[in-house]
Each structure stands twice: as structure tokens, then as C-alpha cells.
Amino acid sequence: FDLKNDDFTSLQELGSGNGGSVMKVQHVKSGTIMAKKVVLIDAKPAERKKILLELQIMHDCDSRFIVSSYGAYLAEPNICLCMEFMDKGSFDAIYKRIGPIDVKVVGKVAVAVLEGQRYLYDEHRIIHRDIKPSNILCNSQGEIKLCDFGVSGELINSIANTFVGTSIYMSPERIQGATYSVKSDIWSLGITLIELIVGQFPFSGSFDSDNDSDLEGEGHRTPPATHRVSLTIPSSPTSKRRSKRRSKGVSLHGGGMTLSIIELMHQIVHEPAPRLPSGKFGHDAEKFVDACLEKDGEKRTGLTGAIRNALDKGVTTERSGHDRMDENLLRR
Ligand code: ADP
Ligand code: MG
């Protein structure tokens, strides 16, 4: 496809995040339904060229664990990324709609994410860098795929938002400024798995006043190192879109950074890692999550170990995320 804005009709807004917004669109000539991500960038012409070049890699990715790309184009001042539309949406939306996700299904998510990471690293030497529930998508064929990986360093540099690259799923060593390794993504996977299994972002504590009722009565189940955090992001021309409150124990408001994000980062670095509540979801799942959330990046399980663990004695006995997912999950 040689793509431009005129080629599409917009069908539905799918959501928005730190970097931009995503729209369900139809490519008129071919009839293809796609997800189009629009990212506002602040880059000089030379940088823009480089971004487009780097995004070519996305086009070259061919894995059943990676959302495929139809191409990217510039539409000043934005860059548009056209990708495979995943009709069941992202796992954050799924668990927020139906509640905690069955640990067996989460096992399939773990395997799909790890296989996706392995593909990106082995075939393209790419580290994903943004593993989180909203970047794990699902379709009605029961396929689970990763999207939004860090193909373009130049794009990351020029996204017109100071908060890009900061994530509440960041590993302790990442927060402390270590160079990125695949193991940082394993930490993010561990946090993600707890969030999907328990139905709540695992760091939550005493800072947020809005959301207390959700937690009460469940306090005994939450891991010891949990604190609720209020995350505030800086104002920017696009902050209106993002200022909608998010229900993951973290609230996003416009208007200047508060101490809270620092507080969260401090907890990630200095408090014990979150854990699954013991005895509730099975020993294998607990063990697997603990291995992902080893605080010392050096000692943490690597990709190969995690995949072996997930497949052999860990969270799932099934070979891929491609077996049909829980029918109920897909129907709802
Ligand atoms: P974030 O990942 O931080 O939520 P994004 O801008 O990357 O922000 O995505 C916004 C939302 O759009 C996601 O939460 C997801 O639900 C939806 N989305 C993204 N890509 C796709 C896709 N290829 N197919 C279907 N939905 C998508
Ligand atoms: Mg995303």
C-alpha cells in the first residue's frame, strides 16, 4: 500500500495513549479494515525521513505474535501508522470490561508476549520497550499479538510529549538509568500478568482518594508492597485527550507533574516487588510471576528461560496463544 489520509474513511475511535490516538478505519480502495495510529511529532524534515525509514522494519515483521503493519506515512504535523485491526481490542480494555482474566488465559498471553519478544529480538534485534496490557491485542480468531514496539529511536525522540518513555511498567534498573535489555521487558510482563490475573494494576496505595472502595475488603489479598499512586502528566496541546481518568489505580490528570509518579518510581526501586496473592492462582503462576519480577535485572529470568518455564511447568501447558481463547471472554 502507498498510503495517504484521503485513502481512508474513519469508522470508530479506538482509544488514545501517551503518544497519539488510534482510529478504526477502512482503506477505501481495497476495503481493508485497519487500525490507524496518529502520532503528533515534533521533528525536522531529515528526522522525519529517518523515522519513516526506521518504521520500514515494522513492515518487515512477520510473526503470528506481532500485529502486522500496512505502512506508515507523514501527514504534517503527524505521522500515521496503519496496522492490522484487532477486533477484540487490548487486554486492559478486556479486563476492565469483564474483570480478572482466568489464569489459564493469562498463561496464553504470557506465551504469546514472550514469543513475540523472542521474534523481535532474534529476527530484528528489537527490544519492545513498552510491554503493558494496552499493547497486547486480541482478535476473534483467538490470536494474541503485541503492538507498539520501539522500532524507531528517532520517532521516540520526536513524539511531542515529554512523558513518552516513562511508564508505570518500568523495571527498577530502567528507572535507575541502566541501558535497556530484554530483561526489562520481562519485568513489565510480570506486572502485566498480575494486573490481568488480579484485575488491577499491582501498585496502588494511599495517595489516591477516588478509588478506595474498589480495594477495601480485598486488602488482605493485595501484595504487601502495594500503594495507590496518583500519576499526573504535564499539560500539552494533546492533554485533553489523555486527561480522561483511567481505572488502574492510577489517575491521569492534566496540569503539571506531581510527586506521585516519583513516589511510584521510588516504590518500584526500593520496595519488594509485587507478587500474586499466595494460594489463589496456583503455584506455577506464582513462581512464574516471581521469576519475572526479580528486582535484580541481572538475576532475572531471560527470554529463553521464561519461555521454557512458561511452556514446561509454568503458567500454561499449551504451546501457543493460538489455541482458541476462552469462548466467554471473546463473546462478551
Ligand atoms: P495505549 O497503548 O497507551 O493505550 P495507544 O495510543 O497505543 O495507547 O492505543 C490506544 C488504544 O487503541 C489501545 O488501548 C487499544 O485498545 C487500541 N488499539 C491500538 N492498536 C489497535 C489495533 N491494532 N487494533 C485494535 N485496537 C487497537
Ligand atoms: Mg499502545
148 Cα to the center of ligand 2, angstroms: 5
Sheet holding 78-84, edge to edge: 8-16, 20-27, 33-40, 78-84, 69-75
Model pLDDT, residue 70:
94
- CB burial string 223-235: b at 16+ within 10 A, e below: bebbbbbbbbbee
Residue 16 near ligand 1, beta carbon < 6 Å? yes
For residue 261, the tally of other CB atoms under 10 A from its CB is 18
Would you say the CB of residue 35 lies under 6 angstroms from ligand 1? yes
- pLDDT value at residue 57: 85
User: Residues, the chain, total?
Assistant: 332
Q: What is the C-alpha to C-alpha distance for residues 307 and 101, in angstroms, rounded to an integer?
A: 20
C-alpha grid cell, residue 326: 476462552
Angle between helices 182-194 and 103-124 (to 10 degrees): 160
Ion ligand 2, residue ranges at CB < 5 A: 135, 148
Low-confidence ranges of the chain (pLDDT < 70): 160-165, 205-259, 312-332
Ligand 1 center to 73 CA (angstroms): 18
Question: Taking a C-beta distance cutoff of 8 angstroms, is the pair 314, 107 a contact?
Answer: yes
User: Can you say whether the dihedral through the CA atoms of 229, 108, 36, 154 is positive or negative?
Assistant: positive
pLDDT of residue 311: 79
Picking from 197, 207, 200, 201, the residue whose alpha carbon sits closest to that of residue 230 is 207
Q: CB–CB of 88/139 below 8 Å? A: yes
The residues carrying an active-site annotation are: 130
249 lines ligand 1 (CB under 6 A): no
Ligand nearest to the CA of 22: 1
Give the tens place of pLDDT for each residue, 280-317: 999 999 999 999 999 999 999 999 999 988 876 445 44
Q: For residue 298, how far is its CA from the centre of ligand 2 (angstroms)?
A: 27
Which pLDDT score, from 0 to 100, does residue 203 have?
Answer: 87
ipTM: 0.99
Indicate the residue type of 166.
T
Q: Is 159 in the pocket of ligand 1 (CB under 6 A)?
A: no
24 labelled binding-site residue: no
